[in-house]
Amino acid sequence: MEALYHQTFVLETASLILRSYKNSDAEAVFEVVNKRKIAETTMNIPHPYPREHVNVWIEYVQNSFRTGRAYEFAVFLKEEPLKYIGNCGFVHISEEHHNGELGYFIDPNYWGEGYASEACQRIVEFGFSKLQLERIYGRCMAKNRASKRVMEKSGLKLEGIFKSEVFKWGQFEDVNHLSIIRSEWCQGWIWGTLN
């Protein structure tokens, strides 16, 4: 597995453009990531989100992309190519074990439009076809049924529920663990069971 060293890397779907992050994305990212609903539905994003952390995060994402440790993409609408609506990609890649952890968030203003599923399906395809991963996995708080459904639509299956795995905002949260392996993905595309 080799890192993708392109200055700008772009993936497309029917409705979306997914591209590697640029420093100039910082303000648009902050406008989305600072929304309370994002923090409520993710395990690691705080609220309020400090503005200065956005620049640090983008630099981290860019470095991870260059070294192949992670591949996170900025998500834009094709019909409004400057409209940042979220993030989707692999937040961690294990070259040794040939696996990647799927992560994403979408601006709450665009929830229910199918964009998270569309982006995740493209990232899963990218992971198996371009990165040659063997296993793709994801996690979400058990109370976040919409996020679980996004992963299921992308072919991931529930492996188990880890009780009280995360302590957020003063309470313990159960976490769903889902995954898909290469042979399952290939079979799903052959038989048309994904999507």
Q: Which amino acid is at 29?
A: V
User: Would you say residue 4 has pLDDT above 70?
Assistant: no
State the first-to-last Cα distance of the chain, in angstroms, to the nearest integer: 27
Model pLDDT, residue 188: 76
Cα Rg of the chain (Å, integer)? 16
Distance between CA atoms of residues 88 and 90, nearest Å: 7
Q: What's the pLDDT score for residue 193? A: 53
Phi/psi for 80 (5° steps) reads -135, 80
Confidence of residue 7 (pLDDT cuts 50, 70, 90): low
E-assigned strand segments in 2-134: 10-12, 16-20, 71-77, 84-94, 99-106
Would you place residue 3 in the very low, low, confident or very high pLDDT band (cuts 50, 70, 90)?
Answer: low
Rounded to whole angstroms, what are the CA distances from 187 to 11, 118, 172, 181, 182? 23, 19, 37, 10, 9
pLDDT of residue 1: 53
**pLDDT tens readout for residues 94-122:** 999 999 999 999 999 999 999 999 999 99
Name all domains of the chain by residue range, CATH numbers in brackets: 10-191 (3.40.630.30)
> Could you tell me if 122 and 13 are in contact, meaning their C-beta atoms sit under 8 angstroms apart?
yes
Assessment of whether the complete model's pTM goes beyond 0.85: yes
Residues 6+ apart with CB under 8 A from 14: 78, 118
Q: With cut-offs at 50, 70 and 90, classify the pLDDT of residue 28.
A: very high
Residues in a beta bridge with 105 = 87
Q: What is the mean pLDDT of residues 2-11?
A: 70
Chain-wide mean pLDDT for the chain?
94
